Structure 1
Amino acid sequence: MSLVIGASNVYADKIKKPNLPQSYESKAAPAEIADTDRMFIDLREAAKKNDVFRAQQLSSNLVNYPFDDYVAYFRIKPQLFDGSGTRSDYSADAQVIAFLNQYQDTALADRMRNDWLLVLGKRKDWARFDIEYSKCVLDDYTQVKCYSLLSKLSQGENPTKLAIDSRALLLDPSDFGQACQELVSSLVAAGGMTPSEAKAIGRAASERGFETMARHLGGEDPIGDIVKAAKADPAKAYRDFSQNASRYSKENQAVAWGVIGQFLAKKLDPNADDAYRLQQELGYNELLSVESQEWKVRAGLRAKDWALVKNAIDGMNPVVRSKDPAWTYWYGSALKAEGQDAKATESFALIADQYNFYGQLAREELGKSNQVPAKTKVTEQEIDAIASRKGFIRGERLYAMNLRFEGNREWNWELRNMTDKQLLAAAEYAKRIHLYDRVVNAADRTKQEHDFSLRYPTPFKEVLSPIARQIDLNLSWAYGLIRQESRFIINASSSVGASGLMQIMPNTAKYVAKKIGMTNYTNDKLSDTNTNLTLGSNYLKMLLIDLDGFWVLASAAYNAGPSRSKAWRETLTGPTEGAIFAETIPCTETRVYVKNVLSNAHYYSSVMNGTSQSLKQRLGVISPKAATQSELP
């Protein structure tokens, strides 16, 4: 979520508030939530806290409640988990089995099964685990997958093969839990994984701050102190290790340079390129963490070191490389820089059918059109068929109680296995009931038949258009930002206090309101659509002016603040492609945000105007500039 918002010479208190379409919340929510609904919400909170007594007490008072499956789930779930993880007794097993039988083939049954699999895995009840695991539909829990590999290992499957499978799984230490830590130690004991590989996984955890986990995974790391030093002060770690590297083995030198390179690159320090070059000479790319592998590419991009970019991508974990189209695009760019045009074309072609930031850039490299695809229409009968689906009806009711997590679960479960036309019908239905985030969610999934007016909807246009026109703000960019910020959910709020369609921070809102002459402004007015869009749009325009008209810099500033955007620009050593600047933004959230906002803006321009500027031209070429103090918050 954004940390900021917008301003100009518009006096918002003089702008008449138009008749707005009925909002997501007002459409779904009753005038007052019933007492049983409030009790249901309390039950949900008790289940989140694994409060067995409270959950039992509340569920007993919700007999015949419409969401009987959720009542049962919230009652049973605390009996499976406690403060230390999963409970070891068998007291809830019969209830789980009865639940799975009664509510089979539902989203909640799939969730319950995953919860129970964590318990079965911890118990080493592999016979029951394997039966239940085979019934999983979504199978998207990393810990459950780790238990699955442990089950196979216990039954004598080849540990070397299982270790290969684990490399595709053990990518993000925040997902590991007890199961994945146990898998690593078991694979080492079985001879399928080397101690060096285990230490590499542990080192990845240490890089992310999971020190206890790091020790459990890999034991004492010979370069553990270097990892800590690089995290604290990478420039000093670089200088110190330059003097002391010869004391370490070739393997440890290589991984140390990789770690130092990662943290230098995150500081946008040009020495990152040198550190990674030293690592490249030594080898051991496979022992670098995902973070180090990815930042090796980014360090090469910042230095325009295309040989390092190519080598870094060649040495990537294949799963990491294939998951993100960035690496396919930049590999093609490296080949092109080396004069290998035919091979570069082959690389760009691999992602040219994707409707994302790098798919767009790849199509431009191939000289293909970036216009939106032809619109597929759906019939009233197809929309009516969607409206009668149980999951959508339940989802609306859950949204009305502001239970977005559960509402999304119901809607996404219904979207499984849908044809493109069914997805478009679901998107159109969601549009009609003003669930705009669900419009985007459904339309974004189509593969062959599309409707980009649903994928990139324009609600509140009668409010936003005159505001943008009055301050000369590009409307497609404003929509691209809102789509990323809030998905058009009026009462969206972030953990840091940003709110509304444009996710405005209260202090920023006050600043902007004062600047544009919005009298009698108070923060409770941020929930008003007109006010929110006025302040957000104005602030976005202010940022664009402050950052010399660069959309990349202004988009980054909207998310992370203008001082950070200016500081990142100051580190440039020469004119730099906007795409490279975006890819090398140190903050992950902001990096993803900027690419999505600008990709969105490109498609919005095409949807609204029928034509669109080259994405590369929008990104521009950013020149270095010393950071100056800005009064903008």
Structure 2
Amino acid sequence: MLFFSNPNFAKPDIASLTEQQRLFLEAYDAINKKDRALIADYKKRLSGYVLAPYLSFFDFYKNIDSTPNSAIEQFVIQNKDNHLSGRLKYYWLNHLGRSQQWRSFLAHYNSEDFTAQNLKCYATLAELNTQPKPESSDKAKALWQTGKPLSRACQPLENYLIKNKLLTGSMVWENINMAMGRDEITYATKLSKHLSQNERNIFQAWLKIHKDPSQLTQPLPSEYPGQVRQNIFIQGIKKLSKKDPKLAQKLVTQDAKRYGLNQAEELSLMRIISLRLARNYQPDAKSLLDQVNETDSSESTLRWQLQLALRHSDWASVLEVYEKLEDDEKTTEKWQYWLARALDNTQEPKKAQQIYKNLATKRNFYGFLAADKLKQDYQFNPSPSKKIDVNELIQKYSQLPRIKELLAIDWLLNANREWYHLLQTAKNDELEAISYLATDWQQHNIAIRGLAMAENWNNIELRFPTPHKTPVLQAAKQHAVDPAWIYGVMRRESAFATDIRSPVGATGLMQLMPNTARFIGQKIGVKPQTYKNLTNAESNIELGSAYLSYLNEKFQGNRILATAAYNAGPNRVEDWIPDDQQLPADQWIDSIPFNETRRYVKAVLEYTIIFQSLLNQKYDRLENYLLPIGQLQSAKSDSSTLVKN
């Protein structure tokens, strides 16, 4: 979401605002009403106020068609150190492109400053309409041939290519191929209108195979153009591998030569199929992964070969595949831990112990696991707190006074834009000081981001704050959930940003999906307002904690399974539980099919231990949660497993 695209800013307590803050909000209302005389009066009265640039920005943006270019150019120059400058210039360039002011566009556009596709299209159109170059037509072709629907800015390029007879059949087919690979069926169908009637019939046959790729069991007609036949086959196999990887494997083996696939193309398809088999824990996955890795291994296929070995406690294979990893991958804490576990299980305990000792000095998931193996205390390695000169910092960085005012008037989205611009432009050795100030202003997600950018991992005080402590402790008690676990989930989900919303709709501190919130809210009997207001910290914490409790009970007290289910949904987690064995929990975690869920579970467990040490000055050992997984741990299914967070 663009930072100014939502006019419904949170409404602050007017009584708590200063005179300038009230005037500023009144001025913003005048801008929305397009009362130019009143706007001019407010600008005069607020001259010198730190948020004054926002008035000009919104005024120019909302009236960009009638604002003189000279006024915008002056604003951009005068506010060059303000993120609003780049924002306004971006919208101004779009305006210049839409209104076909090509010479003005070229005078102010710099491809190094703006990488947006629509501006690239306008730049090419500007060249073609003012000073065509030999390479201008090639630029137009490249911008058209992306496999993505054309934006309004880029559509004229297609018209140019057609008009000048530069749109060839092979270009159309290649664009269709890219569109089909992206599942952009509507756009691919639109592109097919540029084909002959016979070619459109071939495309219609492709659509049928895309819908049901098992039709590839019947050979494609030999009269189809060779490259098109190959594309249909390759795209169909990729689609089929999701539904029936065994059939996909059979067809590649059987028909690769028929469709002219070279060794690299055949291997690429086999790699995709092997990963699909592995993610579904299919018995044939190991042999195919072995075959692929023997010919041309990749990071993903090697990782999955190792994960399958872990799934089956095949320690000899772990050691064998480990040696094929890149050197930098071998030294990661993850694979060092599994090297130690493999050595421990192949009669080389002394070597394993030395690796465990090195890992046990670390404050992370694998460090805690290693410390458990050695029966040692966990090492948290905190850095000491520092004092900062707030006034000096505010004077040095112009973003900070603006942020302070934006927070006061509850313009959080704009405040976040200022924070991000500040973190990108500040000196690296001052990011920690900025993070302290962000913490003082209750902007914990910004502090966490700043420390990460500075690669300062040992400032536990700032990286693991405990805001909203009263509602967290109340919810923990009410729903019988460890408060440190709640904090661990919150830290991973939102880094304590209350108003954050994911692209799929997960909202607030514990990133609850609306359906999940409604389900758990109705289950625990709260008022609808509670589960409809997910950006409210107390509501989000209550519902998220109740959902953790529900999942914990559903998975019979297994916190690892409950944590995985919070991320991936209970149905998936049930599918991942082995029904023919009991698997050590650390092996199960690192063989979870989803990369995101695998990382998520390890992070939440690690954070939970850290929050326990902060809240209680003591901690549970990670090994206490590592209950074997399989058979008896499978939860009973019910209709509620349709709810996915």
TM-score, length of structure 2 as denominator length:
0.63
Aligned residues: 501
Matches within 5 A, 1:175-186: none
Question: Could you tell me how far apart the structure 1 residues matched to 2:351 and 2:251 are?
Answer: 41
Partner of 1:271: 284
Partner of 2:505: 497
The counterpart of 1:60, out of the listed 61, 72, 96, is 72
Partner of 1:594: 601
Q: What secondary structure does 2:334 align onto?
A: helix
The answer on 1:74 being equivalent to 2:72 is: no
| Amino acid paired to 2:478 | Q
Alpha-carbon deviation of 1:541? 0.4
Matches within 5 A, 1:263-342: 263-280=276-293, 282-285=294-297, 288=298, 290-317=299-326, 321=329, 325-342=333-350
The counterpart of 1:561, out of the listed 569, 579, 601, is 569
Question: Could you tell me how far apart the structure 1 residues matched to 2:364 and 2:608 are?
Answer: 11
Alpha-carbon deviation of 1:408? 4.1
Larger deviation: 622-631 or 535-544? 622-631
Question: Could you tell me how far apart the structure 2 residues matched to 1:61 and 1:621 are?
Answer: 65
Q: Which has the higher contact order (CA 8 A, sep 6+)?
A: 1
- Aligned-pair identity in percent equals 24
The answer on 1:528 being equivalent to 2:573 is: no
- Report if aligned partners of 1:300, 1:308 keep a CA contact under 8 Å in 2: yes
Question: Could you tell me how far apart the structure 2 residues matched to 1:45 and 1:560 are?
Answer: 44
Alpha-carbon deviation of 1:587? 2.8
The counterpart of 1:356, out of the listed 364, 380, 387, is 364
- Report if aligned partners of 1:336, 1:344 keep a CA contact under 8 Å in 2: yes
Alpha-carbon deviation of 1:234? 1.6
Q: What secondary structure does 1:601 align onto?
A: helix
Partner of 1:629: 637
| Amino acid paired to 1:60 | I
Question: Could you tell me how far apart the structure 1 residues matched to 2:513 and 2:480 are?
Answer: 23
The counterpart of 2:386, out of the listed 365, 378, 382, is 378
Alpha-carbon deviation of 1:475? 0.7
Alpha-carbon deviation of 1:468? 0.7
- Report if aligned partners of 2:521, 2:530 keep a CA contact under 8 Å in 1: no
Partner of 2:216: none
TM-score, length of structure 1 as denominator length:
0.64
The counterpart of 1:577, out of the listed 571, 577, 584, is 584
Alpha-carbon deviation of 1:411? 3.5
Matches within 5 A, 1:48-447: 60=72, 63=75, 69-77=82-90, 95=108, 112=113, 226-238=237-249, 257-280=270-293, 282-285=294-297, 288=298, 290-317=299-326, 321=329, 325-344=333-352, 354-365=362-373, 368-379=376-387, 381-390=388-397, 391-395=399-403, 400-403=411-414, 406-413=417-424, 416-418=427-429, 423-444=431-452
Partner of 2:161: none
Q: What secondary structure does 1:549 align onto?
A: coil
Alpha-carbon deviation of 1:460? 0.7
Question: Could you tell me how far apart the structure 1 residues matched to 2:86 and 2:278 are?
Answer: 46
Alpha-carbon spacing, 1:314–1:484, altered in 2? closer, same or farther (3 Å): same
Alpha-carbon deviation of 1:491? 1.7
Alpha-carbon deviation of 1:544? 0.3
Larger deviation: 434-443 or 322-331? 322-331
After superposition, give the CA deviation of every residue in 1:176-222 in whole Å (9 maximum; x if it has no partner): xxxxxxxxxxxxxxxxxxxxxxxxxxx9999997999xx99xx9799
Larger deviation: 533-542 or 71-80? 71-80
Give unmatched runs, 5+ long, in structure 1: 1-21, 101-110, 124-173, 175-202
Alpha-carbon deviation of 1:547? 0.8
Alpha-carbon deviation of 1:612? 1.8
Alpha-carbon spacing, 1:362–1:417, altered in 2? closer, same or farther (3 Å): farther
Alpha-carbon spacing, 1:453–1:377, altered in 2? closer, same or farther (3 Å): closer
Alpha-carbon spacing, 1:535–1:449, altered in 2? closer, same or farther (3 Å): closer
Alpha-carbon spacing, 1:612–1:67, altered in 2? closer, same or farther (3 Å): farther
Partner of 2:491: 483
* Higher Rg of the two aligned structures: 2
Alpha-carbon deviation of 1:66? 8.7
| Amino acid paired to 2:604 | V
Give unmatched runs, 5+ long, in structure 2: 1-11, 33-53, 125-147, 149-176, 189-225
- Report if aligned partners of 1:329, 1:358 keep a CA contact under 8 Å in 2: yes
After superposition, give the CA deviation of every residue in 1:410-464 in whole Å (9 maximum; x if it has no partner): 242355421xxx5554333222211011232344567688442321110010121
